[in-house]
Structure 1
Amino acid sequence: MSARRWLGGALVAAATTSLVRSRLGRTPPGGPARWDRTNHQGTSVSLLEGPAVAAGLAAGALVSGGSTRSRLGHTTATVGALVFGLVDDLAEDTSTRSKGLRGHLGAALHGDLTTGGLKVLGIGATGLVAAALAPPREPCGPGRRTVDLVVDGAVVAGAANLANLLDLRPGRALKAGSAAALALSGTTASGPAGAVLGAAAAAAPADLAGDDMLGDSGANALGALLGSAVVQGTSRRARGTVLVVLVGLTLASERVSFSQVIARTPWLDAVDRWGRPPAPTAPAAPSTRPAAEGPGAAVTDGSTRP
């Protein structure tokens, strides 16, 4: 049964992602310019991948999530992250300097609720609702149940945030999400895990090519569904361990650039670059010095690595 759910989730998610992306591409809500952004290389990239992937994730989880409560939990986590992610994608005030979790929460404490702060609070709330909807796994009293609810809600919200932190280079968030989904494929949450893999497979070509990106809506939805799968498919101890890892990585992101860490770690850099077209090489700068003469003279071409 778990294999059937996994396959069903993957197929429905892939088909839905492709269909929604195609229709959004023909008639983008508000026009194409509303969804265009400039990536790290200075080229145009579309945010339409995000809603398409989120739709695929929700559809895949809805048809393969198990019981009614289970499906509602997964769908709530995904759709909640999509909605609040879209608000941040389309209504963000780029003139503000609030960045990162600490920046947004700090601004909220001073009475300035940014779209990023609204997203943090909104996904936190929908994460708690998704956790409350999850079918109970281990017997426990009211006190233990309250602790579980807080931990599980934090896992959903933390996973949503981490996926968004990784959506800085083509394919990075999709690769990380797919790896997590493969690890969850043997659990009782195999259906949502299959949905993540199906949606990622459908979105990967345009994402890796640098034409599309998940944005907040897609990355948050991807992470939230994975978090919900962890909540419903793993033990209490495993969920606690996942939360510790998520908190640690989130705190580290406030001080360390994940992109720099990946670039300095050969095997991570190789995985990160896999599937992307080669980066364009900067043209050689004309020399301003007389050409060197004689055997063994050094030659420089002035090229730089992007």
Structure 2
Amino acid sequence: MVTEVLRRAALAAAGAATAPAIYRVLHRWQPGGATLWKRTNHRGETVSLLSGPALALAAAGTAAAGAPTGLAAAAAGATLASGAVGVYDDIVGQRPDQKADKGFRGHLGALREGRVTSGLVKIGGVGLAGVLAAGVVTRRPLDRLVAGGVIAGTANLLNLLDLRPGRALKAALLVGGCTIGGRNGALVAGPVGACAGLLPDDLAERTMLGDGGANAIGAVLGLRLAAAGGPAWRAGLLGVLAGLTLASEKVSFTRIIESTPLLREVDALGRRA
């Protein structure tokens, strides 16, 4: 027991050290040019999106290192694939012909017009990655689809929360911290550390995760959640995730958070005034 606790602590420390180190390398390199990775945040200030790829790479590596043998490849694959299609949407979605298509409704509306948006590519890519990864959780076809939905739905939910500094990372730390115990808990130890390592720059509004980072960390957390119980557990989780996703099309999560005292205080903790 003590050995396993120390192992998970070491994985968390590795994630906390690795993610900022990867970010620094990417920030110096600026692959594709610095302009590609600059975004305007909610204050109208310029921040870097490179913490997203840094989180995806660190989370994938440390998840694979901590996961049981059967889950290692699935964890790395789902994290990297979800991160990759998220980065694709971060970049291509900035084009003028893509910016107006937001949310499931917008992407489906564009498809009816014969246009395939970057957001639809992301949704399909994350969904496919989720179903493929779910094969290590369950062999039953319907249950595998449900498990894949949990993985993809968690990735999408983390993305929906990435609207204010630190919000998505705090949510990831909460979910990861609650699931770091148990038989498969080492799967998320490193990714939890990676989130903690990147949180200061996110709160200071020097960086933001973007779809690449939020989808990546959400996918690995979703895999952990899917593996935490049986078919009934996964079906219940999928119902909650689907409900939250549908609600996001109608109501603003930011408005709900800001009108709820406890959520507002936690959301603002560590953030610039």
Measured in 1, the distance between the counterparts of 2:89 and 2:254 equals: 22
Instruction: Decide whether the 8 Å contact of 1:167 with 1:219 is kept in 2.
Output: yes
Deviation of the 1:119 alpha carbon: 0.4
Counterpart of 1:183 (choices 161, 178, 182) is 178
Q: Are residues 1:105 and 2:108 paired?
A: yes
Q: Which one has the bigger helix percentage?
A: 2
Give how far 1:277 is off. 1.7
Q: Which 10-residue stretch deviates more, 86-95 or 4-13? A: 4-13
**CA shift at 1:80, angstroms?**
0.8
CA RMSD, 1 decimal = 1.5
Out of 14, 35, 38, the residue aligned to residue 37 of structure 2 is: 35
Task: Map 1:17-56; keep pairs closer than 5 Å.
Answer: 17-56=19-58
The 3-state SS of whatever aligns with 1:233 is: coil
- Name the counterpart of 1:146: 141
Q: Give yes or no for contact 1:5–1:65 (8 Å, CA) kept in 2.
A: no
Which structure has the bigger radius of gyration? Answer: 1
- Go from structure 1 to structure 2 and tell me whether the alpha carbon gap of 1:30 and 1:250 turns closer, same or farther (over 3 Å shift): same
Structure possessing the higher relative contact order (Cα contacts under 8 Å, 6 or more residues apart): 2
Aligned to 2:189: 194
**Cα distance in 2 between the residues matched to 1:242 and 1:5:** 29
> In the alignment, which residue of structure 1 is the partner of 2:117?
114
Say if 2:263 is the partner of 1:268: yes
Distance in 2 between residues matched to 1:52 and 1:216, nearest whole Å: 12
Match of 1:258 among 253, 261, 266: 253
Q: Shift in Å at residue 249 of structure 1?
A: 0.3
Q: Which amino acid aligns with 1:110?
A: E
Aligned to 1:87: 88
The separation in 2 between residues aligned to 1:94 and 1:196, in whole angstroms, is 34
Match of 1:66 among 68, 73, 82: 68
SS at match of 1:157: helix
In structure 1, the residue matched to 2:154 is 159
Query: Alpha-carbon deviation of 1:239?
Result: 1.6
String of CA shifts for 1:57-81, please: whole Å, max 9, x gaps.
00111110011x2101111110111
- Count residues in correspondence: 269
Residue 160 of structure 1 and its aligned partner are, at CA, apart by 0.6
Task: Tell whether the 8 Å contact from 2:19 to 2:197 is kept in structure 1 after alignment.
Answer: yes
Contact 1:60 1:191 in 2 (8 A): no
Identity across matched positions, percent: 42
Please state how far the C-alpha of 1:4 moved relative to its aligned partner.
4.4
Distance, in Å, in 2 between the alignment partners of 1:157 and 1:206 is 26
List runs of 5+ in structure 1 lacking aligned partners. Answer: 137-141, 279-306
- 8 Å Cα contact 1:11-1:60 kept in structure 2: no
With normalisation by structure 1, the TM-score equals: 0.84
